[in-house]
Chain A
């Protein structure tokens, strides 16, 4: 009896192999594409042609591929920003706001220290972005750690505040002579270097490296183990001498810091300036991605890839064949719906 129980226990905790995971996600993507084909038919577009367009425009050309990586960059980071706190059962819905504030801090650096050489200015902006995101996350984290307010609610509410703070700063102080809703272009020293002649910036390297560090950290370090313990049973870990409050604050703020870095990357690498309403839901998308793959670092990379494929493919498709841009959001959401609904084909067994 005992060995049997042990093996079932073990089976449960063996992570699914890479091939199996890939197969699962591919099945889901195929399902959502079928659903979407139906919608395309309804609005009178040829689904096969549209899909050929999406794939050939992204995976079929170097330019398309580079645009895909550009779209991946911010959501890799915001996905991680949600995944880190989720390991100790903290729900960070606030990546959107943290991203805004991180970008604002970095912008302040870019505008005020524009005479510095790139070798100093870029690291300074990164630090500022990290600081901004962490500070914005500190409020919900602190309120949670003293047991006062749930971090989900506060971080969500603060998402609505952050863009208005940016609006205030850009509109009131930072705007260029030409526009009221954006700053002047950053000096070249404040721009993240890009690869070759594409728009792919160093930010994607930050994302990938941080995800790998996170994976190693959780797997090998003592703190990773303690985080696992907190995630499993906070009360028990508290009694075992793990400082729960300290972990709550540090881990949540680390999440915020990564989202802040994402803001810096987008301001410095993607736009090269700061503008009001500058995020198109990157923080929310990061939440979704992280949640769909249960905070798994490699899952985040894979899911970001799939979502960016749809997003940038749809973007290019709209230009070339007149499919309305809005339906890209529908395809994106259908993919998310299918993953959320976990159809029984994918799970392999019926519940």
Chain B
């Protein structure tokens, strides 16, 4: 394999992995506070549709990113109302949210099918200007890519180094004790959903406004579910999610290179690899998993009277 094709893989892994990373970071925050959000796929779709629509309307991609973030946060609050306030089952609520978002995103996005936009502008990676354009063109990234790893660091800092993060992780372990220590578990969960929705919105914005640069129905293609798998794969840790997101998307990029070099492996089989690896990782931990997963994941906080 030549250096160029390796760099090509890396570049396209970064492009397709960015949205996965943002989404997975959002889900890390949800799951750390004890909520599994299967509706993430829907959150992505609604954010992508509204972000794209806003970009077409205003002509400003950054405004589109902002709208996508807000849309993601708002859609997540619906989920919050169901599972936090109404104490509904999380898996079922997530799936219902997914079906809802299939409809809502098409309603928002379909008038804009085929419209062209000013995509997020791309900048050269600093320090590569002396390379030939063949190489440096592979590393022209938009702002969201540059911000992806800082975002992961920020989430890590938020969860592990701040008072709020301590409270959030405590809710995921045992909401009753958190309540006893003077915090409001419901409020923390709502905040986590709002924040996670904004992060997923960033991921969706990257798909629609920077990467694909269009809107089609179901365009996120299961990325919400991949993000859920990624969170498990990275053991609920925001920094490990960076590696996970890159590995997931690299396996897709590798397939492109293999095709180019004449080796014929079905792309469908390669797309299975990340999921199989995740299952194997889960098996590998075996009993240790209990220490990694938030103890109250999926449990409904019944409140204290």
Contacts and interface: CB of A to CB of B under 8 A. Distances in A.
B282 A156 contact: no
Interface residues of B, number: 46
Given A148-B286, A284-B95, A287-B92, A168 B269 contact: yes
A291 interface: yes
A337 B229 contact: no
Contacts of B98: 284
Interface in A193-212: none
Interface in B94-116: 95-107, 110
B91 interface: yes
A43 B104 CA distance: 12
Interface in A325-345: 325-334, 336-337, 340-342
Contact of B91 (A43, A291, A324): A291
Contact of B268 (A171, A291, A327, A332): A171
Contacts of A156: 38, 225, 228
A285 B217 CA distance: 19
A30 B255 CA distance: 50
B8 to A, nearest CB: 23
B271 interface: yes
B278 A157 contact: yes
Contact of A164 (B95, B104, B271, B279): B271
Contacts of A302: none
A164 B107 contact: no
B88 A342 contact: yes
Contacts, number: 127
A149 B289 contact: yes
A171 B103 contact: no
B268 A165 contact: yes
Contact of B275 (A143, A160, A341): A160
A93 B38 CA distance: 11
A91 B201 CA distance: 29
A281 interface: yes
Contacts of A91: 91
A91 B102 CA distance: 24
A161 interface: yes
Contacts of A331: 103
Interface string A151-169: 0111011111100110110
B275 A157 contact: yes
A168 B268 contact: yes
A324 B282 contact: no
A101 interface: no
Contacts of B96: 288, 333, 336-337, 340
Contacts of A292: 92
A281 B82 CA distance: 21
Size bracket, chain A contacts: 35 or more
Given A156-B225, A328-B103, A341-B86, A333 B97 contact: yes
Given A164-B268, A292-B92, A330 B103 contact: yes
A147 B96 CA distance: 30
Nearest to B274: A160
A306 to B, nearest CB: 14
A341 B89 CA distance: 10
Question: For chain A, what secondary structure do more than half of its interface residues adopt (helix, strand, loop), or is it mixed?
Answer: helix
B275 to A, nearest CB: 5
Nearest to A351: B87
B283 A148 contact: yes
B37 interface: no
A159 B100 CA distance: 20
Interface string B54-91: 00000000000000000000000010011000101101
Contact of B229 (A157, A168, A341): A157
Interface in A277-327: 281, 284-285, 287-288, 291-292, 324-327
A340 B87 CA distance: 9
Contacts of A325: 106
A71 to B, nearest CB: 14
A48 B137 CA distance: 57
A168 B272 CA distance: 10
B88 A340 contact: yes
A288 B86 CA distance: 16
Interface string A121-147: 000000000000000000000010001
A172 interface: yes
Contacts of A330: 100, 103-104, 107
A148 B11 CA distance: 37
A333 B103 contact: yes
B282 A153 contact: yes
B107 A287 contact: no
B228 A340 contact: no
Nearest to A335: B96
B93 interface: yes
Contacts of A281: 99
29 contacts: A148-B282, A148-B287, A152-B91, A154-B279, A156-B38, A157-B278, A160-B225, A160-B275, A161-B275, A161-B276, A164-B272, A171-B266, A172-B268, A284-B99, A287-B95, A288-B99, A291-B92, A325-B106, A326-B104, A326-B107, A329-B99, A329-B104, A331-B103, A333-B101, A333-B103, A336-B92, A337-B78, A340-B88, A340-B89
Given A172-B266, A331-B103, A340-B88, 13 more contacts: A154-B279, A160-B229, A168-B266, A291-B89, A325-B106, A326-B104, A326-B105, A327-B107, A328-B103, A333-B96, A337-B96, A337-B100, A340-B86
Interface of A: 43, 91, 93, 143, 147-150, 152-154, 156-161, 164-165, 167-168, 171-172, 281, 284-285, 287-288, 291-292, 324-334, 336-337, 340-342
Interface of B: 38, 78, 81-82, 86, 88-89, 91-93, 95-107, 110, 217, 222, 225-226, 228-229, 232, 266, 268-269, 271-272, 275-276, 278-279, 282-283, 286-287, 289, 298
